[in-house]
Amino acid sequence: MRPCVPATPVVLDARVVTGAGGGPDKTILHSPRLLEPLGYRMLCLYLHPPGDSGFEILRQKAAHAQAPLIAVTDRGPWDWRVLTETLAVCRRENVTIWHGHDYKTNALGLLLKRFWPMRLVTTVHGWVQHTRRTPLYYRIDQFCLPRYERVVCVSDDLLEACLSVGVPARRCVLLENGIDTTAYRRIRCTTEAKAALGLPVERFLLGAIGRLSEEKGFDLLIPSIATLRSRGLDVHLMIVGDGHQRPRLEQLIREYGLTECVRLAGWQADVRPFLEAMDLFVLSSRREGLPNVLLEAMAMDVPVVATRVNGVPRLVQDGRNGLLVNANDPDGLVTAIATLLNNPQLRESFRAAGRRTVETRYNFLTRIQRLQRLYDALLAENPSSVLLR
């Protein structure tokens, strides 16, 4: 069945998600309303496990972002109904461009192209969660990525990784994450924000945001608080987010006697009030692509300490707009935090420099305009002759 050529090209962004989603979903869900004035209708298709209560939070996020959401229940790797249901969506919506966001939607796009002639684009966000199945997922992606017409990479190290698995250089595009700098702008000072959240205004508050899972390194950050306090520094920590590692982190908090000064705030629909209350934002991740939460913190005038992983050093220039430490280095983390805690002037310098970095290099509208040009160039070309071997 051949599609009609739509007056407005239709982009279907597809992603597999468990629970409320993560950083990539901020980019996906906030793109449709900005792509529409640029001549593209974008739909967000999410594959999710049956009965996943966290998916309702993602629905709320989509509604808030005015993003058209299509949900497909995914019962596992052998659920053939995912293929038939998604193919029905492609035909019903007259999809022009399939935009995958992970190994499964990349494989699905290749299969669907056999039945529905659409162009293939994918974004590589970074392979950060490591499980026993991760090597298999890598192999699937290594097969799929060279067969896509455009491969968008959110950091230069991911671009190098894609080139190394055979993606032609002319199809690889570096397109870093961006955020809406008008939405992420400080409204209240730190003292007012702490008071609004019922937090003691005199306490020095470290903050972190992310899924409670191993790659985020919160199991290193919590003991760092104990070390800092043992040195006489009155520092407190608030972690915003939820995930399967929560019981382990709660146990660590009890073991180190930190129940009065470390708070797990859970998932929050809007993290901006929490960012405003932070004296310092800490990214302790072992693995990342280019994390949106770091962009958000810098846009909200929060000084940052971050681990030197993947795309982070492109964003954070050590000593200029933040401090960098090596991953899995608790001593380095403690030293960097203590340095900023004891140096208010340096913190103020990083606040201004961080905001300036995001405004000039990581504006979300600029990213969307570059994505539009990518789609324009792709549709102007003849369909790819890549063999689906």
DSSP 8-class letter at 182: T
Contacts of 6 (CB under 8 A, 6+ apart): 41, 94, 96
Same domain (yes/no): 224, 89: no
Residue in the block written with tokens 């950060």: 128
Are residue 18 and residue 72 in the same domain, yes or no? yes
Domain count, the chain: 2
CATH number at residue 345: 3.40.50.2000
Tell me: do 293 and 373 sit in the same domain. no
Range of the domain at 345: 190-361
Same domain, yes or no: 56 and 165: yes
Are 215 and 348 members of one domain? yes
Torsion sign, CA atoms 129, 130, 131, 135: positive
All residue ranges of the chain with pLDDT < 70 are 1-6, 127-133, 384-389
Considering the domain architecture, whether residues 40 and 14 belong to the same structural domain is answered as yes
198 and 283 in a common domain:
yes
Q: What is the separation of C-alpha 39 from the centre of its chain, rounded to a whole number of angstroms?
A: 25
**325 & 202 share domain:** yes
Q: Quick check: pTM over 0.75?
A: yes
Claim to verify: residue 321 and residue 369 sit in the same structural domain = no
**Does 316 lie in the same domain as 207?**
yes
- Beta strand 280-283 pairing with 304-307: parallel
* Residue 41 sits in the same domain as residue 170: yes
The confidence score (pLDDT) of residue 128 equals 53
73, part of any domain: yes
CA–CA distance from 347 to each of 32, 88, 239, 279 (Å)? Answer: 36, 53, 20, 9
Predicted pLDDT at 283: 97
Please classify residue 202 by burial: count the beta carbons closer than 10 Å to its beta carbon, then call 0-12 exposed, 13-18 middle and 19+ buried: exposed
Contact assessment for residue 276 and residue 307, using Cβ atoms and an 8 Å cutoff: no
Question: Does residue 87 fall inside a structural domain?
Answer: yes
Whether residue 389 is contained in a domain is answered as no
Element (H, E) at 47: strand 41-48
Q: Are 206 and 175 in contact (CB under 8 A)?
A: no
Q: Is 70 helix (H, G, I), strand (E, B) or coil?
A: strand
* Residue 270 CB contacts under 8 Å (≥ 6 apart), including other chains: none
Please check whether residues 205 and 143 belong to one and the same domain: no
Evaluate whether 18 touches 48 at the Cβ level (below 8 Å): yes
